[in-house]
Amino acid sequence: MSKVIVCIKGVPVPGATKVDPETHTLKRESLELILNPNDKSALEMAIRLKETYNFKVVVISMGPPNVIPLLKYAYALGCDEMILLSDKAFAGSDTLATSLILAKTIQKLSPYSVILTGLKSIDGETAQVPPEIGALLGIPSLTNVKKLLKENDYWIAIRENEYGEEELEVSEPFVASINPHVFDYLKPPSLKRLLEVEKKEPTVFTISDLDLDPQQVGLNGSLTQVIEVFEKKIETKGTIIEGNPQELINKLIEILKTKDVI
């Protein structure tokens, strides 16, 4: 049976990250991780491919053990196999180090047809991992894909860029990041699978399972480095107006008139 691999990421709850004023490092106020919202369409795409072409879907996530609920959610949606990539040595990996860990894992899952990811994570927002995985595996990469269809021995992909939509032919295997807004409807997990997954645990891969050197991953293996984080302080520069809403509206109308807006 052909395989679709979908990579998902757990991201911190928005707003839970602050700068520690003493150490100038990022401090997370909550350890809770939520599914990267952009990954939802990649999961939906994977499940739809499974239903249409009878694929097996493997979901992978790299992170601490608290991404396990996200993997289980993906299973409940219809994924068949869960893989957790978890090792202290992975912490602090930049995009290339992350892509290397994912590519090594994907090689172990060979043969596969398609690798799907979200367009980008909402925390790092780099969108770099999918093309880097493609480069490391030596397979084609497509970004911002809206549609995938299998036709004979190749695939038809529709992707969007600043110029419009492009229809391409691509041979498998390939990696595609999925546009976050392609599906109007995301199928909820089924009760049956929600109950089923309670008894299941993901397969865990650590650094030794992937034949990686600690020097290639984590902070050590990352060629890009954050040297400083700081909070941008903003001083009040304009007028702050309080009062009853009607008065405020009148003031705003005056301002809009002086600015020739009305």
Partner 1 sequence: MIFEEIKLENLDKGNILAFGECYQKKIHPSSFEILTPLKEISQSLNKKLILVCLTNLLEEIENLEDLKKCIADEIWFILNPELKNFKDDLWAQVLVEIIKNSEPYGFFFPATIIGMSLAPRVAGTLGLGLCAHVNSLELKNNQIIMARPTYGENIIARLISKSIPIMATISVGTFPINYKDQQPLIKKIIFPQNFCWKSKLKVRKILPFKKKVTKLSTAKIIVAGGRGLKNKENFQKLFELAKLLNAEVGATRPVCYEGWTEEDRMIGISGITVRPKVYLGFGISGALQHMVGMENSEFIIAVNTDKEAPLVKMANVAFITDAPTFLDLLIEKLKALK
- Of 218, 21, 12, 36, which Cα lies nearest the Cα of 130? 36
CB of 202 to partner 1, least distance (A): 25
Specify the amino acid at residue 197: V
For partner 1, the closer of residues 4 and 11 by Cβ is: 11
For partner 1, the closer of residues 1 and 227 by Cβ is: 227
- CA pair distance 230, 179, nearest whole angstrom: 31
CB of 76 to partner 1, least distance (A): 22
- CA pair distance 239, 23, nearest whole angstrom: 34
Name every residue whose Cβ is closer than 8 Å to that of residue 47 and which is 6 or more positions away in sequence. 57, 77, 78, 79, 187
For partner 1, the closer of residues 53 and 154 by Cβ is: 154
CB of 71 to partner 1, least distance (A): 22
- CA pair distance 21, 235, nearest whole angstrom: 18
CB of 109 to partner 1, least distance (A): 19
CB of 90 to partner 1, least distance (A): 17
For partner 1, the closer of residues 114 and 197 by Cβ is: 114
Q: Which two tokens stand for residue 66?
A: 């608290």
Q: What are the distances in angstroms from CA 133 to CA 86, 95, 125?
A: 18, 10, 16
User: Is the CB of residue 119 less than 8 Å from the CB of residue 131?
Assistant: no
For partner 1, the closer of residues 54 and 161 by Cβ is: 161
